[in-house]
Amino acid sequence: MKTELEKCMAGEWYDCHDPVFVDFKANARKLLAQYNKLPYSDKNERYSLLKELFGSIGSNVSVGNPFICDYGKNIYVGSNVSINMNCTFVDCNKITIGSNVLIASNVQIYTAAHPVELSERLTPGWKPDSSEYFCRTFALPVTIADGCWIGGGVIIIPGVTIGENSVVGAGSVVTKSIPANSLAVGNPCRVIRKLNGGQQNG
């Protein structure tokens, strides 16, 4: 029989109030409280806390504060990554960010979701004194590949992959995966043209 954590990572319905998730959140809140009080100039301490918070982190990574995440441990970041201020990462499942990635201010990445139909969304037989959550929850991973630029205020929903070197325009709501080497904008986000993948000036 699968644990609630195993169900979660497999994209199945799971009990988000299971003690394992409560512990994840408590640890993340503690580290975030410390991180978000640190000045920008205290780069060594900032990096040390991110290393403790995230599942993995490469070199030359900057995360602006305030920063909010759910568990932290499900965030995997490559090298040469800039995440600007006021970003929210709901990392109930994996959020994987490649190298050479820019993420602008106010970007929201969500892995958690609920069934659309009310009959499926409500937990069968739920009672107010139950330890279970009143509605069903599942979580799907989000991947941002190497070389991407995610514009300000972008929202990325569960299960989305953004391919290598792609750019997502400010304010977009990304409901479907974006192929590599694409410029995508809008709500819902759609590809408007292809980019010269991997080519550099000079």
In a domain? residue 143: yes
Q: Which residues contact 175 (CB under 8 A, 6 or more apart)?
A: 157, 160, 188, 189
Q: Residue 120: which CATH number?
A: 2.160.10.10
The pLDDT tens digits for 49-60 are 999 999 999 999
In a domain? residue 124: yes
| Structural domains in the chain (count) | 1
Domain residues for the domain of 50 are 4-193
Which residue numbers are catalytic? Answer: 114
Q: What tokens appear for 43 in the block?
A: 């780069």
Average pLDDT over residues 32-49: 95
The average confidence (pLDDT) of the chain is 94
Q: How many residues does the chain have?
A: 202
Provide the pLDDT confidence category of residue 176 given band limits of 50, 70 and 90: very high
The pLDDT tens digits for 62-82 are 999 999 999 999 999 999 999
In a domain? residue 199: no
Give the per-residue pLDDT at 202.
Answer: 36
With a cut of 90, say whether residue 200 has pLDDT above it: no
The pLDDT tens digits for 95-129 are 999 999 999 999 999 999 999 999 999 988 888 88
Q: For residues 180 and 128, which has the higher predicted lDDT (pLDDT)?
A: 180
Query: In this structure, are residues 142 and 96 in contact, taking their beta carbons and an 8 Å threshold?
Result: yes
Give the per-residue pLDDT at 197.
Answer: 67
